[in-house]
């Protein structure tokens, strides 16, 4: 294999590690990217570089953004008394896509899972308790996924919030199939948020 | 008994089945069409692949498959790539395509790692096999279950739970969630080197208790329905054993309301953390329940009856469960009866065929001897299986 062919192969292998992309679709993607060198490949490379240099985890909520605090935490139009607890940034983005929620977020960074070795101290739970105890937060919305681990994590957090004077609600999970927020369409997500019930 | 005309009340049935690298089927498509689409007879020698075909089907419903095999062991020997099964189900005004395959996943995203069952319905991935329960119900009876009444409680419990899932689909999700939270708690309790997080354990115990009580409630209700149904139904000529559930959670529910039972169970679990952690086992819960059975007339435990009588009782339960499911949910299950006909005497075999023909439930039967199925001629689809090759032999008769 020539050096150049090897580089392209490396690019394919890196892309193939993406969820939902196998080696086949990665090859197809790389070919498409290469074909549009000027109009697509170079701007893509430059943007990836730029984001890579600037990306930060928001020190308040755990969102990914180029600033910390993130643009949501800094937005003066947001309702700072309401915090929605989600598992991952992808869930936060799903809720933002639905565009009906005007409060703030807290990204846990996963769910409790003894089998996979994710313990309470591996998640952003301590910071959540601190935020909730700070006095500014009036309502915490649990929006972890309707999976077994997601619900156990919600229970755990509620247990830890005992004694903190804050209203705790949960989004209405009538989730039919996947059980994960990311799978839901925007309308369903908005309805789930609206129909939240006290825990 | 007046046989129903085909298509009068079509239940949910497999119309097409595709197997890929599944045991001795490298790549096979089976199309099932009228007449005889409600009863499929697979004949062939032992080892030809009849049970493999039923096993493939069993992966398209909730549960762990008819053999409870390791997912890795199913792929055709020497084949490159993993196995997959897909089928088109139709009936009761619906059509669905369900597929099951395995996927290897580990944290770093490589191809090595534990095999995981992936289920897709009409191109939407489902969260697991339990999510199939509202749509597909499959009940099976295999030679492995011949000693069901003698063996340990777990096989009996699984058999009964499968029936309950057919009645109350949410039972599948509850069982899955209970099992998962139980495993999680045990893992936390046996975890080395870490300081134990009691809040985590108690959150898990609360979840366990909730699921256990939901499971026990569904089991008790399922058993009641089965009993009531049986006391009115005289359609069947199969003996139905007298059934009872013996389990701590079921007992708690008999004397307490559900919330109090949850409270009690969570408390009991909390008291046994050290013991469970040391033993690496969960000492109590919904996974300890047993299904007890007695012969209806002889007043002896089912386990003391003859093998033939036991088979007849199991067949009776399965047929009753199918009828009950149709009357409770208006949905029909699919029955997989592996080597059942051969072990019944002439009279009962005739009853089985008559019931199968009138149930309105797609039934898959297997046997080595085509002759014993002759009463089904004209009412069933006869398929000959030889080493993973399926051949329609309706015309040959
Ligand atoms: Zn933020």
Q: Number of A to B CB contacts under 8 A, please give it.
A: 59
DSSP code of residue B237: -
**Distance in Å, alpha carbon of A75 to nearest chain B alpha carbon:** 35
Question: Which stretch of DSSP H or E encloses residue A56?
Answer: strand A56-57
CB contact under 8 A, A112 and B200: yes
Architecture of domain A78-198: 3-Layer(aba) Sandwich (3.40)
Q: What is the pLDDT of residue A184?
A: 72
Contacts of B31 (CB under 8 A, 6+ apart): B15, B16
What's the average pLDDT block by block, 10 residues per block, for chain B (397 residues)? Answer: 42 93 94 86 94 97 92 87 93 90 64 79 89 94 93 94 96 95 95 83 96 98 91 76 96 96 97 95 97 91 93 93 92 94 88 88 94 90 92 68
A152 vs B contacts (CB less than 8 Å) = 181, 184, 203-204, 207
**Distance in Å, alpha carbon of B131 to nearest chain A alpha carbon:** 7
Q: What is the pLDDT of residue B106?
A: 54
ipTM over 0.85: no
**Coil/strand/helix, residue B377:** coil
- Report yes or no: B341 and B372 within 8 Å, Cβ to Cβ: yes
Task: Provide the CATH topology of domain A3-54.
Answer: Helicase, Ruva Protein; domain 3 (1.10.8)
Q: What is the pLDDT of residue A142?
A: 95
B179 vs A contacts (CB less than 8 Å) = none
Q: What is the pLDDT of residue B6?
A: 39
Q: What is the pLDDT of residue A177?
A: 43
Q: Do domains A3-54 and A78-198 have the same CATH topology?
A: no
Contacts of A119 (CB under 8 A, 6+ apart): A112, B194, B197, B200
Cβ under 8 Å to B: A residues 150-179: 151-152, 155-156, 159-160, 177-179
Count CB-CB contacts under 10 A for residue A117.
11
CB contact under 8 A, B207 and A115: no
Q: For chain B, list the domains and their CATH numbers.
A: 149-330 (1.20.1050.90)
Cβ under 8 Å to A: B residues 62-121: 107, 109, 121
CB contact under 8 A, B184 and A115: yes
Q: How confident is the model at residue A57 (pLDDT cuts 50, 70, 90)?
A: very high
**Coil/strand/helix, residue A157:** helix
Count CB-CB contacts under 10 A for residue B215.
25
Q: State how far the Cα of B311 lies from the Cα of B341, in Å rounded to an integer.
A: 10
Count CB-CB contacts under 10 A for residue B361.
25
Count CB-CB contacts under 10 A for residue B387.
11
A115 vs B contacts (CB less than 8 Å) = 183-184, 187
What's the CA-to-centroid distance between A182 and ligand 1, angstroms? 19
Q: Which of B362, B370, B372 is nearest to B386 (CA)?
A: B370
DSSP code of residue A169: E
Q: What is the pLDDT of residue B233?
A: 65
Tokens 């308040």 found at: A60
Q: Please write the tens of the pLDDT for every residue from A99-108.
A: 889 999 999 9
CA B277 to chain centre: 31
Report, as an integer, the average pLDDT of A152-158. 95
Tokens 């395995």 found at: B102
Q: Is the pLDDT of residue A2 over 70?
A: no
Residue of A13, A112, A148, A199 best to disrupt the B interface, most CBs of B under 10 A: A148
Q: What is the pLDDT of residue B105?
A: 66
Take residue B125 and report the two structure tokens written for it: 């991935």
Q: What is the pLDDT of residue A190?
A: 82
Q: Report which of residues A178 and A2 the model is more confident about.
A: A2
Q: Please write the tens of the pLDDT for every residue from B127-138.
A: 889 999 999 999
Concatenating the DSSP letter of every residue in B114-170 gives EEEEEEEETTEE-SSGGGGTTT--EEEE-GGGTTTTTS-HHHHHHHHHHHHHHH-TH
Q: Chain B residue with minimal CA distance to A160? A: B199
Q: Is the pLDDT of residue A4 over 70?
A: no
Q: How confident is the model at residue A172 (pLDDT cuts 50, 70, 90)?
A: confident
Q: What is the pLDDT of residue A31?
A: 93
Q: State how far the Cα of A128 lies from the Cα of A139, in Å rounded to an integer.
A: 12
Tokens 């493999």 found at: B52
For the ranges A29-33, A91-95, B76-80, B192-196, which has the lowest average pLDDT?
B192-196
- Report yes or no: A60 and A70 within 8 Å, Cβ to Cβ: yes
Interface membership of A114 toward B (CB under 8 Å): yes
> What pTM does this model have?
0.87
∠ CA B287-B209-A119 to the nearest 5 degrees?
A: 100
Q: Which parts of chain A fold into alpha helices (H)?
A: 3-16, 23-35, 42-54, 71-74, 89-98, 126-133, 148-160, 186-194
Q: State how far the Cα of A84 lies from the Cα of A192, in Å rounded to an integer.
A: 12
Q: Locate the domains of chain A by residue range.
A: 3-54, 78-198
Q: Give the burial class of A188: count Cβ atoms within 10 A of its Cβ; 0-12 exposed, 13-18 middle, 19 or more buried.
A: middle
B194 vs A contacts (CB less than 8 Å) = 119
């Amino acid at each position: 294999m020539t050096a150049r062919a090897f580089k392209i192969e490396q690019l394919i292998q890196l892309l193939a590690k993406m969820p939902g992309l196998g080696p086949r679709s990665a090859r197809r993607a790389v070919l498409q990217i290469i074909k549009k060198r000027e109009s697509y490949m170079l701007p893509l490379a430059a943007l990836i570089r730029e984001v890579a240099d600037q990306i930060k985890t928001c020190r308040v909520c755990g969102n990914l953004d180029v600033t910390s605090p993130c643009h949501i935490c800094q937005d003066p139009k947001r309702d700072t008394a309401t915090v929605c607890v989600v598992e991952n940034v992808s869930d936060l983005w799903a809720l933002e896509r639905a565009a009906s929620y005007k409060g703030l977020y807290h990204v846990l960074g996963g769910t409790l899972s003894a089998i996979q070795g994710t313990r309470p101290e591996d998640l952003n739970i301590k910071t959540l308790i601190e935020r909730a105890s700070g006095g500014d937060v009036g309502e915490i919305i649990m929006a972890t996924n309707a999976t077994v681990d997601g619900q156990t994590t919600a229970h755990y957090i509620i247990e830890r919030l005992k004694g903190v004077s804050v209203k705790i609600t949960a989004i209405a999970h009538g989730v039919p199939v996947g059980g994960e927020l990311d799978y839901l369409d925007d309308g369903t997500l908005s309805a789930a948020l609206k129909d939240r019930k006290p825990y | 008994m007046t046989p129903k005309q085909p298509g009068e009340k079509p239940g949910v049935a497999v119309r097409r089945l595709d197997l890929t690298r599944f045991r001795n089927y490298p790549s096979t498509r089976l199309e099932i069409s009228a007449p005889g689409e409600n009863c499929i007879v697979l004949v062939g020698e032992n080892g030809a692949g009849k049970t493999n075909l039923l096993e493939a089907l069993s992966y398209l419903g909730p549960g762990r498959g008819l053999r409870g095999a390791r997912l890795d062991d199913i792929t055709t020997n020497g084949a490159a790539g993993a196995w997959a099964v897909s089928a088109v189900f139709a009936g009761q005004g619906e059509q669905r395509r369900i597929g099951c395959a395995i996927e290897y996943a580990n944290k770093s995203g490589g191809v090595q790692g534990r095999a995981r069952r992936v289920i897709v319905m009409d191109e939407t991935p489902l969260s697991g096999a339990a999510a199939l329960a509202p749509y597909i119900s499959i009940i099976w009876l295999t030679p492995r279950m011949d000693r069901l009444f003698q063996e340990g409680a777990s096989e009996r419990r699984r058999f009964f739970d499968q029936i309950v899932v057919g009645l109350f689909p949410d039972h599948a999700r509850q069982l899955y969630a209970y099992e998962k939270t139980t495993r999680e708690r045990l893992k936390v309790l046996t975890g080395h080197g870490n300081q134990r997080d009691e809040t985590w354990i108690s959150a898990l115990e609360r979840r366990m208790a909730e699921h256990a009580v939901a499971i026990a409630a569904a089991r008790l209700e399922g058993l009641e329905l089965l009993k009531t149904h049986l006391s009115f139904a005289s359609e069947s000529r199969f003996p139905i054993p007298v059934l009872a559930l013996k389990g701590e959670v079921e007992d708690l529910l008999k004397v307490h309301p559900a919330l109090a039972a949850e409270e009690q169970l969570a408390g009991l679990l909390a008291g046994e953390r050290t013991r469970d952690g040391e033993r690496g086992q969960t000492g109590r819960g919904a996974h300890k329940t047993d299904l007890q059975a007695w012969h209806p007339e002889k007043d002896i435990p089912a386990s003391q009856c003859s093998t033939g009588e036991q088979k007849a009782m199991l067949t009776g339960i399965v047929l009753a469960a199918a009828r009950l499911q149709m009357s409770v949910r208006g949905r029909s299950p699919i029955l997989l009866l592996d080597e059942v006909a051969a072990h019944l005497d002439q009279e009962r075999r005739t009853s089985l065929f008559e019931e199968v023909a009138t149930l309105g439930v797609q039934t898959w039967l297997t046997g080595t001897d085509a002759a014993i199925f002759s009463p089904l001629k004209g009412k069933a689809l006869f398929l000959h299986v030889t080493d993973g090759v399926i051949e329609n032999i309706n015309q040959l008769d």
